Each structure stands twice: as C-alpha cells, then as structure tokens.
Amino acid sequence: MNVVTPIGEFASRRDLAVDGEHPRNVIADIASRPRGQARIITVANEKGGVGKSTVAFHLAVALADTGHKVLAIDLDRRQQTLTRTLTARGGTARRLGVRLPLPKHLVLQQQSGAQLCQEIARAGWDCDFIVIDAAGHDSPIARRAIALADLLVSPVNSSFADLDLLGRFHPVSNKLLGPGCFSAMVSELRSARAEVGLPALDWLVLQNRKRRETSKNQDRVENALRRLAPRLDFRLGAGLFERVAYRELFLLGLTHIDLKRIPELARTKTIATDEVSALLDDLAIDSEAENQLSVSVLGVGPGWARSAVPA
Ligand SMILES: Nc1ncnc2c1ncn2[C@@H]1O[C@H](COP(=O)(O)OP(=O)(O)OP(=O)(O)O)[C@@H](O)[C@H]1O
Ligand SMILES: [Mg+2]
C-alpha cells in the first residue's frame, strides 16, 4: 500500500544523530555564538555532481557584480572546484587586462564547526553575503553550514536518482512515499532552529542541467518537484539549462555577466545571462541587486563572438 508518511513523523523516526552531531547540539552551538551582519547562502545537496559549485560560483559572482561584498567559502578541501575557478578568475582578469568583480574566497582546511564559525566572523565580518559551497556528501561540516544558513540552495538534476534524496517516490505509481535522507536532515535542523527561536531557514531548490526539448522524464521530475515543494516547504527556482558555456566559462573563472567587460565579447548575446539573472531573482534578496543585474543583459554581437561563447 502506498501511504504518504507525514514529513515530521518520518523524520523523527530516524536517528539522525547516528550520522553525526545531533541537530539540537549543532543549533545550540550556533545560537550561542555572535552572528555577523552577512546573509549566509549555503549551496548544498548531499548528492554529488548536481551543480553545487557551478551555482555557488555564479551566485557569488552575480552578487559581487551587483556591488555586494561577498565571501565564498569552499568546504570541499579535496576538489576545491569553487576555489580553483575563483583563482582562475583572478588570472583571467590579469591576462585580459579587465577588472572583474572578485568575491573574497577561502577553503575551510580544518573541517570543524568552530573553525567555520571563526572564518565567517574573521573573513566575513565586512561582507553582505557569504556563499558556502558544500561537498557532495553528508558530513558534520555540511550540516553545520546548512544550520548556519539564512538560505539553503539545493540544485538537483532532472533525475529520480537525485530526487530520491529529497523525496521517496513509488517506482510504478509515482506516489510520494515520504522524504528522502537529505530533506529529513534539513527538516531536523529546521525544527531544532525553531525550538531555540532562530529565524526560519528559507530553502530554494533549483533544477539544473534542464533539457531544452520536452521529455516525459523532465515532465515527471518537474511534477514531482512541484508536489514535493509544499510538503518539504521549499521554493522551486527557475533553475539552469544544460549549456556548454557553463562548463567552458567556468574553467576561465568567467560567467556570462562578465562578458560585457571583455571588449571582444562585450556585444555577445547569450540567454544564459537571463538565467543567471533569474538565479538572483530566486534568491529574493532585494530589488536593487535585481535591477542592476537586469541592466547587464548584453546586446546582440558578431557571429564570431557568439560562437566563442557557446549557449
Ligand atoms: N547547467 C549546466 N550545464 C552544463 N554543465 C553543467 C551545468 N551545471 C554543472 N555542469 C557541469 O557538471 C559537472 C558537475 O558540476 P559541479 O562541479 O558544479 O557539481 P557539484 O554538485 O559541485 O559536484 P560535487 O558534488 O562533486 O561537489 C561539472 O562538469 C560542471 O561543469
Ligand atoms: Mg562541488
């Protein structure tokens, strides 16, 4: 029989403390520390390869581009994808002789909750936003980063293998059976926050690598996410399409919104800029940042420049 289990009931049956620090302890520690003015955006999903670093990078750059002071913290000290692309960004700016907004960034070498809080206080004291990129697995430090966040951003690929971490669906009937392991953990942290009176954690889920052509799978995934959103209390963002440019510009530490600063590409038109702009809209931060970014949507450019920046 396919029974949809209430989220709270399902979550409370799991002993989340088995996998690490108990959510109540994590939250109690956070609540006891002074909190800076920066808004913390944690990009996390314990599924690997869903685009967390790509999204974290675009968010950090888009926020810096709109004049905000941004600190990017890379929790993945092994792969350091976010760090490598932000380092490449500095090199690209020097080689091209252009000024690019560059978020401050650091890798969390010592993976302790106390160290993360210290770095936020030390390096992020003068920042408006702190963007944290978590590694693609469950860990005490990823939980800590989620617990600290004002906004949790979770990219997912258009696949039920990815959705399984958010919600369990019946393979034949497609009925929702209950939350997945990641959403159960988020739910526990949210409850623990509520218990000590911390503000509610806003959760934004984004579909990444969306395909342009419609398919039954894509429809089913979108439908499943729409059903999950009210049950798990997340907002569903516009998401990102599958684009070669996200991979190629990433290597150079560039995003589409930088192209206006590079003379050879300044007139390149790419609709991916609109996607990055929509990413900021989905954060629902403030209308000023939104307006500034929408002004940066680029004009139509010459064919060679268009081909230099694949869609
Ligand atoms: N919208 C997109 N279009 C095309 N390629 C993408 C897109 N988003 C991400 N990718 C590519 O998918 C791969 C995984 O992306 P990324 O490294 O951002 O994932 P991740 O979730 O951070 O992975 P991990 O869990 O290992 O940290 C990379 O090769 C990246 O360039
Ligand atoms: Mg990553």
CA-243 nearest atom, ligand 1: 3
Strands 167-169 and 176-179 turn out to be antiparallel
Between the CA of 74 and the centroid of ligand 1 the distance, in Å, is: 15
* C-alpha–C-alpha distance, residues 216 and 149, integer Å: 35
Q: From first to last of its 311 residues, what are the pLDDT tens digits of the chain?
A: 333 444 444 444 444 444 567 888 899 988 888 888 999 999 999 999 999 999 999 999 999 999 999 999 999 999 999 999 999 999 999 988 899 999 999 999 999 999 999 999 999 999 999 999 999 999 999 999 999 999 999 999 988 889 999 999 888 888 889 999 999 999 999 999 999 999 999 999 999 998 877 788 888 889 999 999 999 999 999 999 898 888 888 888 998 888 888 777 666 666 666 777 787 777 765 544 444 333 322 222 222 222 333 34
* C-alpha–C-alpha distance, residues 239 and 259, integer Å: 21
What's the topology of domain 7-11+19-255? Rossmann fold (3.40.50)
Kindly list the domain boundaries of the chain, sorted by start residue. Answer: 7-11+19-255
CA-56 nearest atom, ligand 1: 18
51 in contact with ligand 1, CB cutoff 6 A? yes
Sequential DSSP letters for 276-295: HHHHHHHHT--HHHHHHHHH
Between the CA of 198 and the centroid of ligand 1 the distance, in Å, is: 32
243 in contact with ligand 1, CB cutoff 6 A? yes
Ligand that lies nearest to the alpha carbon of residue 45, given by its number in the listed order = 1
Name the residue of 58, 247, 255 whose CB sits within 8 Å of the most ligand 1 atoms, as the mutation to test its pocket.
247
